[in-house]
Amino acid sequence: MELKVKDITKNFGDNEVLKGISFSARAGEAFGLLGRNGAGKTTTMRIILGIFKSDSGIIEVDGIPFDDKNISTGYMPEEKGLYPKVKIADQLIYFAMLKGMKRNSAKTAVEKWLAKLDMSRYYGTKLMNLSKGNQQKIQLAAALLHEPDLIILDEPFSGLDPVNASVLENIIKELISEGRTVIFSSHQMNYIESFCNEIAILKGGKIVVDGGIPEIKRSYPRDRIVLSAGDKKAVSDHIISSMADLTVSAPVIKDGQMQIKLKDKDMKNEFFRRIATSDMDIDGIYVKEPSLTDIFVDHTEDKEGRETQ
Annotate 166-203 with DSSP letters as a single string: HHHHHHHHHHHHTT-EEEEE-S-HHHHHHHEEEEEEEE
Whether the pLDDT of residue 308 is over 60: the answer is no
Q: Which domains does the chain have, with CATH numbers?
A: 2-217 (3.40.50.300), 221-287 (3.30.70)
What local confidence, expressed as pLDDT, does residue 79 receive? 80
What local confidence, expressed as pLDDT, does residue 179 receive? 93
What's the sign of the alpha-carbon dihedral 189, 175, 167, 91? positive
Q: Which helix (H) or strand (E) holds 113?
A: helix 103-116
**Residue 307 pLDDT level (bands cut at 50, 70, 90):** very low
Whether the pLDDT of residue 293 is over 70: the answer is yes
For 240-280, what is each residue's pLDDT tens digit?
999 999 999 888 888 889 999 999 989 999 999 999 988 88
As a whole-number percent, the residues of the chain with pLDDT over 90 amount to 68
What local confidence, expressed as pLDDT, does residue 47 receive? 94
**Residue 301 pLDDT level (bands cut at 50, 70, 90):** confident
For 9-65, what is each residue's pLDDT tens digit?
999 999 999 999 999 999 999 999 999 999 999 999 999 999 999 999 999 999 899
179 within 8 A of 129, measured Cβ to Cβ = no
What local confidence, expressed as pLDDT, does residue 195 receive? 87
The predicted model gives 165-174 an average pLDDT of 90
Long-range contact set of residues 184-188: C-beta below 8 Å, sequence gap at least 24: 184/30, 184/31, 184/32, 184/33, 184/152, 184/153, 184/156, 185/32, 185/33, 185/34, 185/41, 185/42, 185/45, 185/78, 185/153, 185/154, 185/155, 186/32, 186/34, 186/155, 186/156, 186/157, 187/155, 188/157
Whether the pLDDT of residue 306 is over 80: the answer is no
Whether the pLDDT of residue 303 is over 70: the answer is no
Instruction: Give the contacts of 279 (CB within 8 A, at least 6 positions apart).
Output: none
Whether the pLDDT of residue 68 is over 80: the answer is no
Whether the pLDDT of residue 169 is over 60: the answer is yes
For 199-255, what is each residue's pLDDT tens digit?
999 999 999 999 999 999 988 888 999 999 988 889 999 999 999 999 998 888 888
What local confidence, expressed as pLDDT, does residue 69 receive? 78
What local confidence, expressed as pLDDT, does residue 215 receive? 93
This prediction's pTM: 0.82
